[in-house]
Amino acid sequence: MTIKIIQSNDYKNKKSRIKKLPQFMDKLIRGYTKRDLIEIRDIFHDGIKDDTLRLERLSELTKKRKQSQGFASPSTPLYGKGDESKDRSYMNMLNIEKTTGGWKLVPSRRKHWSGRITLKELFTIHEHGAKIVQGDKIIQIKPRPALLLAYRRWLIRQRKGEKSKELRKALTDYIDKGNRSLMKIIEDYDNRE
């Protein structure tokens, strides 16, 4: 004797909604990536501005030079003209660019406000440190990996799981009830600038 399983309409509906998930997830993953990069960029900016990234401290000579140039925060590492120079300052240099697979965070190719070096070159110097030889003088620039520290802070926030709880609830609502709250979340993430 064979047993015939009769699937309820509710089960069939759930199954059909599950089949549609890959269409939604591709867009959702790209949106999350952009949203995550915006968060990392904000942590980078605010960490430099508020001096909360715990970067290597500046030498007294550098502080005095920055003070003589009239900088607002001469003792704060990587904070030159800050928000005053908009996209030509170090703390505002990170851009989010679209790629074929999603999004990426890149240092700007613009010239620094001083006009001597690009922000991308300056980024490499500060993230990894450098030795500059000028005649018989050697200038040592200690690494101040602000982006790495911002990324670590972002990872710590992710461990708390607020985003994953939100996504899990949206997926469950969509599969169980056909609730389109997931589509609203996708739109919010994709349209955030």
Its pTM stands at 0.70
Contacts of 61 (CB under 8 A, 6+ apart): none
If you average pLDDT over residues 8-35, what whole number do you get?
71
Q: What is the pLDDT of residues 62-104, one digit of tens each?
A: 899 889 988 888 888 888 877 787 888 888 889 998 888 788 8
Q: What is the pLDDT of residues 140-158, one digit of tens each?
A: 888 889 999 999 898 888 7
pLDDT score, position 98 = 87
Tokens 């990872």 correspond to what residue? 155
Domain boundaries, the chain: 16-191
DSSP string of 34-75, one letter each residue: HHHHHHHHHHHHHHHHTT-S-PPPPPHHHHHHHHHTT-S-TT
